[in-house]
Structure 1
């Protein structure tokens, strides 16, 4: 019994230590987001980290006080957490997909088309009702503020390759296929020969800082691409965490028996 209690205590300490960097990562994602409008999924990290922290504290209480009901509760909640992670990975694999690698424009700069993404993403993130709130947030927090430092088109292209997000690329300039001429900052003008395309995105562009290309499909596509990219990182973390917790659960179950 002493060996089992020691093993359970060590496992609980391990999961407790594991929850702290997950919580820290969630807080860092929230703090370092380009703006409050960024579709960064920090909430799942905070939820997973907090759940793991609570589970570990329950287990430590049971191991230190040798209260079997807490030890069984630890095992049960750990099992629920594993099932929850497995369900999250399965559901997200079906619903959160699309975007591909984007379309290369302007020497490696990428634009994303809205039809590339799943219907679920489009319905829940960029539908008319939701998108109006996103645009208001983008305008309020000056989502295209970085581009105000550019002086030439080359600055725009060079800076994009290392700094700008797909959301900023889709929302803060007209689509490349429209043929607008770059003038300064977020100012683009129609060339003398006219636009190369007359699609809805080309007509939607405005030099008004409160409008820009916020109502373009390329903006919505860039927004979803930014979300999918961030979610893939969280999925990789969840997969690694699921494997670790699975082995912890097996060892804990054997020790408790």
Structure 2
């Protein structure tokens, strides 16, 4: 039984190490300036990573000091956390479909999952996000960064900058600076053309392109985080399966020893 406990303790130590990439991915997402207006998506991975850390530490303690009850709780809790991480990855994949285009991209709501689209762009949610975008420095910074139209049109803008800080190109407005566009808008270019305003507090924050830009930003950043999460998930599942086998072997060994001593 000591051998099985030692194996389980080592595996739980590995699982504890696996929690740090999850925490790191969560901190990275939370620290991104483009995510400052999406509070509900900033910290879930951090909390999940700390949950993995605590559960793995409990498993390590249970194995090292031979606390079989604590080990049983660990196995159940770790299984639940792995399922939660798997669900998060599946949901993330739903919104990480690639988008085409060169330079900066024009974003459309139709390119995103209906669940995420409704959750982010619904009346109750978008009002808060819109107010946060207007109060942020995401768009004003562009006016200081680009000094000419060629420089601006060759730039690789973030989805939020492309969707919220300028009018859609199909509106036919003339560039003056990144957040000021002149001329008469082509109303045939879509409903966003009538919503654009040079007012720094308005811009295209009410546009569908802005809503799509926020979703596009989520897609790009979650795609990067998914690489870390997939590797971590595979390693955690492998550790968990071996830990289950070690725990089962320990239980079998314990029953066998009791039988030999005449306890059964």
Same fold judged by TM-score > 0.5? yes
Q: Structure 1: which 5+ runs fail to align?
A: none
| Count of residue pairs the alignment pairs up | 247
Distance apart, 1:63 and its partner CA: 1.8
1:247 lines up with 2:238 in the alignment: yes
> Is contact 2:107-2:216 (8 Å) kept?
yes
Structure 2: how far apart are the matches of 1:91 and 1:148? 36
- In terms of mean alpha carbon deviation, does 1-10 or 211-220 score higher? 1-10
Structure 1: how far apart are the matches of 2:48 and 2:71? 20
Structure 1: how far apart are the matches of 2:124 and 2:74? 42
Alignment of 1:46-61 (within 5 A): 46-61=46-61
Structure-2 change in CA distance of 1:125 and 1:12 (3 Å): same
SS of alignment partner, residue 105 of structure 2: strand
SS of alignment partner, residue 182 of structure 1: strand
Pick from 98, 108, 114: which aligns with 1:113?
108
Structure 2: how far apart are the matches of 1:119 and 1:56? 36
SS of alignment partner, residue 109 of structure 1: coil
- In terms of mean alpha carbon deviation, does 210-219 or 70-79 score higher? 70-79
Q: Structure 2: which 5+ runs fail to align?
A: 250-264
Alpha-carbon RMSD across the aligned residues, in angstroms, is 2.3
1:97 lines up with 2:95 in the alignment: yes
> Is contact 1:27-1:46 (8 Å) kept?
yes
> Is contact 1:39-1:227 (8 Å) kept?
no
Pick from 186, 191, 200: which aligns with 2:191?
200
> Is contact 1:179-1:196 (8 Å) kept?
no
Distance apart, 1:146 and its partner CA: 2.1
> Is contact 1:58-1:70 (8 Å) kept?
yes
> Is contact 1:173-1:213 (8 Å) kept?
yes
Structure 2: how far apart are the matches of 1:58 and 1:79? 14
SS of alignment partner, residue 188 of structure 1: strand
- In terms of mean alpha carbon deviation, does 246-255 or 22-31 score higher? 22-31
Pick from 151, 158, 161: which aligns with 1:155?
151
> Is contact 2:22-2:229 (8 Å) kept?
no
Structure 2: how far apart are the matches of 1:31 and 1:199? 34
Determine the structure 1 residue equivalent to 2:253: none
- In terms of mean alpha carbon deviation, does 49-58 or 115-124 score higher? 115-124
Distance apart, 1:40 and its partner CA: 8.8
Structure-2 change in CA distance of 1:65 and 1:221 (3 Å): same
Structure 2: how far apart are the matches of 1:40 and 1:124? 11
Bigger Rg, which one: 2
Task: Provide the TM-score with structure 1 as the length reference.
Answer: 0.86
SS of alignment partner, residue 197 of structure 1: helix
- In terms of mean alpha carbon deviation, does 7-16 or 113-122 score higher? 113-122
Task: Provide the TM-score with structure 2 as the length reference.
Answer: 0.84
1:170 lines up with 2:168 in the alignment: no
> Is contact 2:108-2:212 (8 Å) kept?
yes
Structure 2: how far apart are the matches of 1:247 and 1:123? 36
> Is contact 2:16-2:57 (8 Å) kept?
yes
